[in-house]
Amino acid sequence: LDLTADFRAKVLKGTAALTLETAPTAKQVVLDVKALDIEGVTDASGEPLKYTLGTPHPIFGAPLTIELPQGAQKVVVKYKTTANTQALQWLDPSQTEGKKYPFLLSQGQSILTRTWIPTQDSPMVRQTYSAIIRVPTPLKAVMSAEMLTPDGEAVPGNGTLRAFRFKMDQAIPPYLIALAIGDIDFRPTGDRTGVYAEKATIARAAAELEDLEKFVAAAENLYGPYRWGRYDVLILPPSFPFGGMENPRLTFATPTILAGDKSLVSLVAHELAHSWSGNLVTNATWDDFWLNEGFTTYFENRIMEEMYGKDRALMLQSLGFASLQDTLSSLKEPGLTQLHTDLKGRDPDDGFSDIPYEKGAAFLRLLEQTYGRKKFDAWLKGYFTRYAFKSMTTAGFVEDLRETLIKGDPGAEDRLKLNEWLYKPGLPSNAVKPQSEAFARVEAQVEAFTKGTPAKSLVTEGWVTQEWQHFIESLPDTLTLEQMKDLDTAFSFTSSRNSEILFAWLKLAIVHHYEPALPALETFLTSQGRRRFVSPLYTALMAQKGWGVEMAKRVYAKARPLYHSVTRATVDETVK
């Protein structure tokens, strides 16, 4: 990649030079492109190559078919992005933490890399890459690759630009190619770990994530060596649509995890775990998405157990299992509650829910319980080694399971209900429900409150975030406004700076039309764009006829321009 960032026009422009592996008889190469302005295609010597751009599809874009003269092993595509490039979000200074400089971030998963790079945009394809990114001084570029020029270098003949060079020698699927540009600073947290963030955020971010090196060591202790060199985290501006994105060497993360007490760092454990499940062994198609997310959710929980003990891990499991039950009851398409889905002809994001994450993790916990942790861990560690830097299908996973864990036990698949877990809707009856003693104590306090104990008299000392989440989520639908006020007065939920606690409380406030929390709700919806938070809140508002619908439409009209296209696409379906 050789690209220049033009913040005035809000485009990236330059070239993508693809070195090809072809059959000897190959006459063409077909690339995926969407919302790109293709200006020309040449071979390595600069000779023009014939190309055609097919009919655009609303989801998949268009095929860019390039004719290959015999022996051509390289094509150079000159292009620029457009206003419809979904992967890129150009932020004005007012949308950043520092308020002084603009910011650019990319988000390629699932099939949005084709909107900023012409390539074969499938998770089955793996490619190495290098890049030169030219940005306006004094901005800094970072990518999901080795940074060759940490301070940038002068661009000959143009004193207003700096160039940053990157190299990724390990082959990755295209959705993991990532770029961010902004007023970015860096703080090391260990020999191979560190934190990037806007200068206005860097001190807070580095303090919150000071244990990164310990996280990597804990993960390696479980399932083998970290294969990517460095592990850094970039804390992005609040509009980032996901909790995190596991871009190799450089996790992109939402600032909503900066709670001030390290209580939300399980997200980092999740993205780090992707360095094995997803980045190292990748789902071959988006129908197999659970192979990325189910494995990662399981692995994340094991890291949290290593770092913070079994009680915290069980709390997180319990929250995830409860969320899974909610998802199973709310999804209207039974096919989307299967682990292996059929998304042919559809946007892969249609399969995005708690199912691949939590149902996938529940299945792996069943395997662990069935075969014992020692034997299961040996199998999983071997799985990551056997298929490192390769793609995996659900059928391939089953084959490996038969050969290396089940090992010829004829009744094992029926006892496990393997086919039901992978290819049938719903949750099989042998799913193991997590039991948290800490949550049992929380539920006792919920019961005491509902029977008349004042909120200030409840026994809550020393509770961590997950206990507060469970407390709020366990409160009955029959709460009165007086009880809501009592809780808020005692625990200051409406003014909480912990995003998970505030999110749980705001959902409850909508259901009960608790007006003192509505200004905080509006602020929350207009100050961050994390889809997991904003989508359920708009859904809850739209379910409240009259005031709720009116508020949803009014706030969304203001907030929509601030959200990434990924979040907008989801909320557009909710707020009609």
Active site residues: 271, 357
DSSP assignment of 293-333: HHHHHHHHHHHHHHHH-HHHHHHHHHHHHHHHHHHHHH-S-
Tokens encoding 431: 């799913």
**Cβ–Cβ < 8 Å for 153, 75:** no
Distance between CA atoms of residues 265 and 209, nearest Å: 8
DSSP assignment of 126-172: -EEEEEEEEEETT-EEEESSEES-TT-EEETTEEEEEEEEEEEEEEE
Distance between CA atoms of residues 113 and 129, nearest Å: 13
Do strands 281-283 and 250-253 pair parallel, antiparallel, or not at all (unpaired)? Answer: unpaired
- Which helix (H) or strand (E) element contains residue 391? strand 390-392
Determine if residue 40 is left, alpha or beta; phi over 0 gives left, psi from -120 to 50 gives alpha, anything else beta.
left
Max Cα distance, the chain (Å): 82
| Distance (Å) of CA 217 to CA 75, 113, 146 | 41, 31, 20
Q: Which residue type, as a one-letter code, is found at position 7?
A: F
User: What values do phi and psi take at 499, rounded to 5?
Assistant: -65, -35
